[in-house]
């Protein structure tokens, strides 16, 4: 009791307009929004500056994938008549060195932004709530704020039997610190992170085996798209679906995995394990109970995506921590909304959110745009599709694999969503997201120009297929179709 009292006396008290917990992408954008509106933010970070995306997320993973793409190009060059049999090799140490040095340049850019901040806007330490808008940071500072933005991100889940201390059991954070590529790897989980990193390492010559409890591969929800993903990736990767890893026993040179699959137990040995079984919001150590907010079984309060506000409080949540859409552009948008609303509190404004857009950088890529198949009322939509097996440009590039499925609203004739598994799907995904957000009808989209020969012709084919079905099954105006040269 006495000790607590003395500690409290030694604490500095700081006041601010908006206390922002975290210094990741969401927090940096919240801080900018507060400053732009003339307020005084205080950004509190307990870990390293530089953001998760730049340090251990989007950027190093895409750097590793870029190396894998280069290796795959050489490995498959023979089909174009380019003979590489006389010799080439992957230098794992140089691959990882480039990943890290380029990654450090991205991190450096963020660090320069942090360094340019006024000292009064920054504090290092772990923040915990002591009341609805009061916090302590470690045992050195007490904070009184007008409003608070929680932007604490998420952390990888490490379920048993992968919760042991072995450095051979890695999560994404550890992978990019390797100074050389491992000879073999077990990837646990076939979500976006597991598939992206695992396929890249496989293409970089690492003997890679994927273990998943279900037969799900990546984020697609459309059964037709999922079937093509499974067929395609099964051809390339060593996938153990419906497999449950029972034990993971490390020794000096690797780890022995015992797993149950096909009604039997099996043993396999790997140099390392990459655990990619999902992430959970960083709320456990925030003392959210002190805010008076009602918390659900994940420890999260009720949250409004348009205001980023938690219930009726002066607390706002932005980025991965709210569990809404754990993606970089969503974290940026939510940070801006949260910062502006926190400063303006109680005059909170609801903002329109962008059309959902998510891309997995597998090869072929997987993209989900607008409404997903499992969010559709199938009585209200028609579905157009295009197989990349028959698409000209995809064949030219020897990339003729995949399926595009596009969903059109029967009564409005607008595009409402799509799921894609196909070459360079990231670009078609953006076109579709813009079309959906602009609420264009299918005939309107078909009036737009398309060059030849390009992958976008595949998108136009899918739209034509959709237009044909809407003409028969929808309530669209016939004259709209008649005036479109594309239909």
Ligand X SMILES: Cc1cc2nc3c(=O)[nH]c(=O)nc-3n(C[C@H](O)[C@H](O)[C@H](O)COP(=O)(O)OP(=O)(O)OC[C@H]3O[C@@H](n4cnc5c(N)ncnc54)[C@H](O)[C@@H]3O)c2cc1C
Residue ranges binding ligand X (CB under 6 A): 21-27, 44-47, 51-53, 57-58, 61, 126-127, 151-153, 172, 193, 282, 285-286, 319-321, 326-329, 331
Nearest approach, Cβ of residue 48 and ligand X (Å): 7
CB of residue 373 to ligand X, shortest distance in Å: 21
411 vs 477: CA distance, rounded Å:
10
Nearer to ligand X, 215 or 285 (CB): 285
- What letter would DSSP give residue 183? S
CA distances from 268 to 254, 260, 383 (A): 10, 11, 43
Nearer to ligand X, 24 or 254 (CB): 24
Q: How far is CA 408 from CA 27, 239, 391, 461, in A?
A: 37, 34, 21, 14
- Closer to ligand X by Cβ: residue 211 or 481: 211
- Residue 196 or 419: which CB sits closer to ligand X? 196
Pick the closer one to ligand X by CB: 62 or 213. Answer: 62
Nearer Cβ to ligand X (321/348): 321
* Residue 182, phi-psi category: left (phi > 0), alpha (psi -120 to 50), beta (remainder): beta
Distance (Å, rounded) from C-alpha 94 to C-alpha 304?
46
User: Least separation, in Å, of the C-beta of 481 and ligand X?
Assistant: 36
Of 306, 361, 312, 372, residue with least CA distance to 333: 306
- Which CB, 92 or 219, lies closer to ligand X? 219
CB of 152 to ligand X, least distance (A): 3
* Angle at the Cα of 56 from the Cα atoms of 208 and 99, rounded to 5 degrees: 70
- Shorter beta-carbon distance to ligand X: residue 174 or 457: 174
Q: Minimum Å distance from CB 319 to ligand X?
A: 2
Burial-class residue 33 by CB neighbours within 10 Å (0-12, 13-18, 19+): buried
CB of 284 to ligand X, least distance (A): 9
Closest chain position to ligand X (CB)? 24
The C-alpha atoms of residue 34 and residue 16 are separated, in whole angstroms, by 11
Q: Report the alpha-carbon distance of residue 130 to residue 149 in Å, rounded.
A: 15
Minimum distance between the CB of residue 56 and ligand X, rounded to whole angstroms? 6
Q: State the Cα–Cα distance between residues 187 and 192, nearest whole angstrom.
A: 12
Give backbone dihedrals phi and psi of 171, rounded to 5 degrees, phi first: -115, 180
DSSP 335-387: HHHHHHHHHHTTS----PPPPPEEEE-SSSEEEEEES-GGG--TTSEEEEEEE
Minimum Å gap between C-beta 468 and ligand X is 34
For 150, the 3-state DSSP assignment is strand
Report, in Å, the least distance between residue 435 CB and ligand X. 20
The smaller minimum CB distance to ligand X, of residues 319 and 384, is found at 319
Q: How far apart are the first and last CA of the chain?
A: 78
Instruction: Output the smallest distance, CB 354 to ligand X, in A.
Output: 12
Nearer to ligand X, 24 or 402 (CB): 24
């Amino acid at each position: 009791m006495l000790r607590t009292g003395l500690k409290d006396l030694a604490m500095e008290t700081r006041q601010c307009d908006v206390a922002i917990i975290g210094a990741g992408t969401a927090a940096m954008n919240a801080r900018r929004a507060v400053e732009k509106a003339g307020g005084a933010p205080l950004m509190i970070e307990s870990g390293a500056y530089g953001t998760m995306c730049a340090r251990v997320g989007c950027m190093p993973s895409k750097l590793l994938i870029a190396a894998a793409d280069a290796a795959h190009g050489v490995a498959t060059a023979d089909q174009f008549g380019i003979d590489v049999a006389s010799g080439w090799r992957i230098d794992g140490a140089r691959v990882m060195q480039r990943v890290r040095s380029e990654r450090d340049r991205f991190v450096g850019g963020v660090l320069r932004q942090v360094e340019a901040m006024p000292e009064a806007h920054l504090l290092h330490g772990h923040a915990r709530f002591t009341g609805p808008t009061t916090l302590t940071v470690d045992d050195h500072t007490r904070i009184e704020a007008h409003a608070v933005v929680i932007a604490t991100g998420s952390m990888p889940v490490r379920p048993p039997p992968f919760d042991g201390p072995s450095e051979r059991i890695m999560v994404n954070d550890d992978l990019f610190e390797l100074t050389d590529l491992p000879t073999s790897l077990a990837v646990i989980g076939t979500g976006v992170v597991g598939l992206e990193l695992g396929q890249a390492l496989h293409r970089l010559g690492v003997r890679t085996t994927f273990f998943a409890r279900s037969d799900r591969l990546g984020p697609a929800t459309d059964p037709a798209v999922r079937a093509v993903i499974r067929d395609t990736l099964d051809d390339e990767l060593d996938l153990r679906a419906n497999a449950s890893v029972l034990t993971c026993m490390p020794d000096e040179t690797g780890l022995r995995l015992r797993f149950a699959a096909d009604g039997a137990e099996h043993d396999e040995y790997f140099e390392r394990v990459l655990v990619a079984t999902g992430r959970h919001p960083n709320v456990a150590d925030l003392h959210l109970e002190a805010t008076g907010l009602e918390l659900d079984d994940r420890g999260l309060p009720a949250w409004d995506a348009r205001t980023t506000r938690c219930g009726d409080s002066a607390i706002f949540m932005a980025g991965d921590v709210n569990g809404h859409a754990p993606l970089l552009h969503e974290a940026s948008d939510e940070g801006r909304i949260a910062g502006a609303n926190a400063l303006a509190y109680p005059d909170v404004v609801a903002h329109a959110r962008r059309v959902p857009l998510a891309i997995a950088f597998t090869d072929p890529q997987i993209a989900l745009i607008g409404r997903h198949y499992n969010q559709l009322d199938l009585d209200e939509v028609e579905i157009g599709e295009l197989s990349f097996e028959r698409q000209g440009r995809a064949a030219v590039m020897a990339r003729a694999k995949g399926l595009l499925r596009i969903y059109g609203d029967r009564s409005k004739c607008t595009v409402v969503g799509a799921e894609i598994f196909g070459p360079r799907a990231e670009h078609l995904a953006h076109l579709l997201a813009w079309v959906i957000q602009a609420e264009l009808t299918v005939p309107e989209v078909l009036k737009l120009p398309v060059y030849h020969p390009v992958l976008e012709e595949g998108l136009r084919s899918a739209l034509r297929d959709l237009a044909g079905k809407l003409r028969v099954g929808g309530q669209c105006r016939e004259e709209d179709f008649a005036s479109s040269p594309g239909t």
